[in-house]
Amino acid sequence: MSNSAVLVLNQNYEPLNVCNAKRAFVLVDRGKAEILEHAEGVMRSARQNFRRPSVIRLIYMIRRPRPQMRLTRREVFVRDRYTCQYCGKQTRDLTIDHVEPRHRGGRHTWENLVSACRTCNHRKAGFSPEEAHMRLLSEPRRPPASSYYVFYHYLENQSDWRKFIPGWEQYEETEVVAAS
């Protein structure tokens, strides 16, 4: 239970990071944070008992760079809303396509990676879109920095976090559709 995830908000309610319940408990016990949302269960210190936290807010503002999203397969799928960028099919069974093929020096960047269904990836093979006579639905870009990308792994199970994560709503519908 002490390993369960707790969302940490800055003093201005901006999502900062995720820590385990034990760490959150220490922050609250020392008066450095307050509990905004509770989870099931109780935690005990020498001095007092707490209902286990799920979301805490720091009492003091801390300065930190905006969270950066990592370039991974899943982040590319989320950016593309689980949609094949060639035929528009929405599916969970996606592959990563290098628009400019890797053997031609195509790079592993947000601008050169798109989601492709297996059929389209097979058809495109080692060609450029022009050579394969295929067109991209939209130009791949680096997504804007959003706390959604950093925290979305947790949102499915931690529904009480959603109201603290800006950008959640615009993806929620996509996730539900793609999961069915």
Instruction: Find the part of the chain contacting Zn ion (CB under 5 A) among 41-49, 56-64, 86-94, 131-139.
Output: 86-94
Instruction: Find the part of the chain contacting Zn ion (CB under 5 A) among 39-47, 85-93, 106-114, 133-141.
Output: 85-93
Cα gap 31→91, rounded to integer Å: 47
Q: Which is nearer to Zn ion, 25 or 82 (CB)?
A: 82
| Interaction pattern, residues 109-148, with Zn ion; x per rule: CB under 5 A | --------x--x----------------------------
Choose among 136, 105, 107: nearest CA to 120. 136
Q: Which helix (H) or strand (E) holds 116?
A: strand 113-117
The binder of Zn ion chosen from 7, 43, 84, 114 (CB under 5 A): 84
Query: Closest separation between CB of residue 88 and Zn ion, Å?
Result: 7
Cα gap 67→17, rounded to integer Å: 8
Which residues of the shown chain bind Zn ion in the complex (CB under 5 A)? 84, 86-87, 89, 117, 120
